[in-house]
Amino acid sequence: MLAAGSLAGPAFLLLIVLFFLPVFAVFAIALTDWQFGASSLSFVGLANFREVFADESFRASLVNTIVYVAIVVPGTIVLGLAIALLIESGKSFRAFYRAIHFLPYMATLTAMAIAWEALLHPTIGLVNQTLAGLDLPTANWLRDENTVLPVLAVIGIWQNLGFAMVLFLAGLKSIPQDLYDAADIDGADVWLDRLRTVTLPMLGPVTMFVFIVVALKAFETFDTVQVLTQGGPGHASEMLLYTLYRESFEYLRTGYGASVAAVFLLIVVALTLIQARVLDKKVHYQ
C-alpha cells in the first residue's frame, strides 16, 4: 500500500494543486473583493456576479458564445458525418481524403487564423475576389458585426470537422456487417433505409461523444478571437474565454474575471451532466 501511495501520490497532489484548488479558488475569488496583489479581502457575496451580469459586454459575450456553439456543433457534426459516410461508401483514396479533411484539426490555429485573415481581407482576400468575380456582394467579414461571428463559426467548423469525421469513420467501421445483412434480408436494402435502420442509430454513442467534445471545444474558443477580432467590432465577437482573459489579465479585474470563470465552469458542468444523465441512456442501447 506504501507502494501504491508513492506511485499515485505525486499525481494525486498535482491534481489537487493544479485542478481542484484552482476550481475552489475561482469561486472563492469570485465571492470576495480580492484584487491581484492585495493583502486583504472580504466576502462580498454575489456582488461580482451582479456586476458581471449587468455588464453589457459580458452579456454579449455569453450570447455570442452560445450562438457560436449553436452553429459550430451541428455544423461540425453534420459535415463530419456526411464526409465520413462519403469516404466510407467507397474503397479508393480513403486515407487520402481522411488526411486532407483532418489537416486543420492539428494545424496551429494561431497561424491558420493569420491565413484566414488574408483570405478574408476586404480588398485583396480570395473570398471577396471570388465573390466580386461572380458579381456577388462582398463584405468586410471580420469588421462587420453581422458577419464576424458566423465567419468565426465557419473557421471553427473548418477546424473541427476532421475530428468528427475521424470518429464517425471509426464508428462506421465498428458496425457489424451482420446488421447490414439482416437489413438486406429484412428488405431495408435501399440507401436511405439502411441509413435509418442501421447506420444512424448505431452511430448514436459516437455522435454523443463528438457532441460533447466539440461543444466543450467551441465554448473554449480563444485563438481566433484573439488573433482576428479582439472581440470586435463593438462586442460582436466577444466570447467567454476571451472576456475572461481580457478582464483578468489585461484589465486586471480579478473579481470580474473569476466570476466569468465561475459561470464558465457551471456551463461545463451542466453540459456534462446533461450528457451523463439524459442523453447517455438514449444512445447506449442497454
Partner 1 sequence: MSAHRLAPPSAILRHAVLLITGALILIPFVWMVSLSIKPPGEIFRASFSFWPEQFYGIENYTKALTNSPLPRYMLNGVIVCAMILALQIIVCAPAAYALAKLDFPGRNLLFAMVLIALILPHEVLSLPLFVLGYQVGILNTYAALIFPYVVSPFGIFLFRQFFKTIPDDVIHAARLDGLSELAIVWRIMVPMALPAIIAFGIFSIVSHWNSLFWPLIAVRDQSLMPPPLGIMVFKNGEAGNDYGPLMAASTLVVAPLIIAFLSAQRWFVEGLTGGAVK
Partner 2 sequence: MAAITIEKIEKSFGATPVLRDVSLDIADGEFVTLLGPSGCGKSTLLRILAGLEVQTGGSIAIGERVVDGVRPKRRDVAMVFQSYALYPHMTVQENMAVPLRMRRLSSIQRLPLIGRFLPGTKAVGAEIEKDVMRTAKALGIGHLLGRKPGQLSGGQRQRVAVGRAMVRQPAVFLMDEPLSNLDAKLRVQMRAEIKELHDRLGVTFVYVTHDQSEAMTMSDRVAVMLDGELLQVASPREIYADPDDRRVAEFIGSPKINMLEARVRDNGLAEIAGTSFAIPGDITPGISLALGIRPEAFHLVEAGGDNILTGAVRMIEHMGSDLYVHLAVPGTEHPVIARLLAERAPQIASGQTLHLGVKPERLLLFAADGHRLRPHDHASATVLRMKERVQ
* CB 171, min distance to partner 1, A: 9
Q: SS3 of 265, please?
A: helix
What number of chain residues touch partner 2 (CB under 8 A)? 23
Could you tell me the sign of the dihedral formed by the alpha carbons of 254, 260, 262, 268, in that order? negative
Backbone angles phi, psi at 69, to 5 degrees: -60, -40
**CA 91 – CA 89 distance, rounded (Å):** 7
Q: Return the closest-CA partner of residue 105 out of 69, 156, 170.
A: 156
Q: Look at residue 198 and give the partner it binds from partner 2, partner 1, none, a contact being a CB closer than 5 to 8 Å depending on partner kind.
A: partner 2
Judged by CB under 8 A, which of 82, 189, 252, 269 binds partner 2?
189
Report the SS3 class of residue 32. strand
Torsional class of 139: left (φ above 0), alpha (ψ -120 to 50), beta (otherwise): beta
What is the C-alpha to C-alpha distance for residues 30 and 257, in angstroms, rounded to an integer?
Answer: 8
**Residue closer to partner 1, measured from CB, 116 or 211:** 116
Residues 200-229 as x/- pattern, contact with partner 2 by CB under 8 A: -xx-x-------------------------
Q: Which amino acid is at 80?
A: G
**Residue 273: which of partner 1, partner 2, none does it interact with, CB under 5 to 8 A by kind?**
none
Tell me whether residue 4 or residue 285 sits nearer to partner 2 (CB atom).
Answer: 285
E strand or H helix at 273:
helix 254-274
Q: Is the peptide bond before 233 cis (omega within 30 degrees of 0)?
A: yes
Q: Which is nearer to partner 1, 7 or 200 (CB)?
A: 7
135 versus 178: smaller Cβ distance to partner 2: 178
Q: Does residue 185 belong to the site contacting partner 2 (CB under 8 A)?
A: yes
Distance of alpha carbon 179 from alpha carbon 155, whole angstroms: 37
Site for partner 2 in 152-181 (CB under 8 A): 176, 178-179, 181
Kindly state whether residue 190 participates in binding partner 2, applying the rule CB under 8 A.
yes
Binding partner of residue 38 among partner 2, partner 1, none, CB under 5 to 8 Å per kind? Answer: none
Nearer to partner 2, 145 or 280 (CB): 280
Residues of the shown chain interacting with partner 2 in the complex, contacts defined by CB under 8 A? 176, 178-179, 181-190, 192-193, 196-198, 201-202, 204, 285-286
